[in-house]
Amino acid sequence: EVQLVQSGAEVKKPGESLKISCKGSGYSFTSYWIGWVRQMPGKGLEWMGIIYPGDSDTRYSPSFQGQVTISADKSISTAYLQWSSLKASDTAMYYCARLPLGYNWFDPWGQGTLVTVSS
Amino acid sequence: SYVLTQPPSVSVAPGQTARITCGGNNIGSKSVHWYQQKPGQAPVLVVYDDSDRPSGIPERFSGSNSGNTATLTISRVEAGDEADYYCQVWDSSSDSWVFGGGTKLTVL
């Protein structure tokens, strides 16, 4: 069974750094793109960026370029999303999701990681 | 950048047919995908490539895409179909993945 399991909820203060993870299993992790999607409280889905773990090729949405860093460690089948200095406006649920080879939809999705940034 | 427009809400009685639209400039030339998100859960793919269903998704879910509008159709609506639904495309001109704003389906 293809699964993406994300790290647990985080509570951080403004200005702190954070790295959340997404571990893939049940498939060849290096052969599929992984995307990250933000969902702010009560709002819709926003595409943040994607990474190809095989060679770490990464693409960002213009809205998130320079705001976050996407990376992957193929040795442990894990993708990451990180912030160097969190803001209150980063409070959201973050999902990772796999893109089937050669296609542009997301399936399956991880269970989500809730990030709360508050002083 | 490419914009997808969905109605904020759609209401339907049980057993009836729900139609959720997704508007975009010449969207008929793109492949449209649809996701269902129930409260407190991650999104689930229900239709891909305009009209194909992943395994495990009931035949009641179908899709179409032409001109400037794509449509997700849910036949014989059940209470369990109450959720937010999002359309999504890949915009080749900007190499970006784009989501619609989402539609809340209420089963009366």
* 3-class secondary-structure state, position B29: helix
State pLDDT tens for residues B43-94. 999 999 999 999 999 999 999 999 999 999 999 999 999 999 999 999 999 9
CB-closest option in B33, B99, B101 to A47: B99
Euclidean distance between CA atoms A11 and A24, whole angstroms: 24
Average pLDDT over residues B91-101: 95
Contacts of A41 in chain B (CB under 8 A): none
Residue A35: predicted pLDDT: 98
Contacts of B37 in chain A (CB under 8 A): 45
Euclidean distance between CA atoms B26 and B67, whole angstroms: 5
Residue A75, exposed/middle/buried by CB under 10 A (0-12, 13-18, 19+)?
Answer: exposed
Q: Are A77 and A65 in contact (CB under 8 A)?
A: no
Is B102's CB within 8 Å of A104's CB? no
Residue B57: predicted pLDDT: 97
Structure confidence at residue A39 as a pLDDT band (50, 70, 90): very high
CB-closest option in A45, A59, A61 to B43: A45
Average pLDDT over residues A88-116: 96
Q: How far is CA B20 from CA B11, B54, B85, B101, in A?
A: 10, 19, 8, 12
User: Mutation test of the interface with chain A: which of B1, B47, B92, B97, choosing the one with the most A Cβ atoms within 10 A?
Assistant: B97
Q: Tell me the two tokens of residue B104.
A: 């809340």
State pLDDT tens for residues B74-85. 999 999 999 999
State pLDDT tens for residues A42-73. 999 999 999 999 999 999 999 999 999 999 99
The yes-or-no verdict on residue A102 having pLDDT over 90 is: no
The yes-or-no verdict on residue A101 having pLDDT over 90 is: no
Residue A100: predicted pLDDT: 85
Residue B27: predicted pLDDT: 97
Is B89's CB within 8 Å of A104's CB? yes
| Lookup result for tokens 């951080």 | A12
Neighbours of A68 (CB within 10 A): 20
Is B99 an interface residue toward A (CB < 8 Å)? yes
Average pLDDT over residues A75-103: 96
What percent of chain A stands above pLDDT 70? 100
Show which residues on chain A lie within 8 Å of chain B, measured between beta carbons.
35, 37, 44-47, 50, 59, 61-62, 95, 97, 103-112
Average pLDDT over residues A86-96: 98
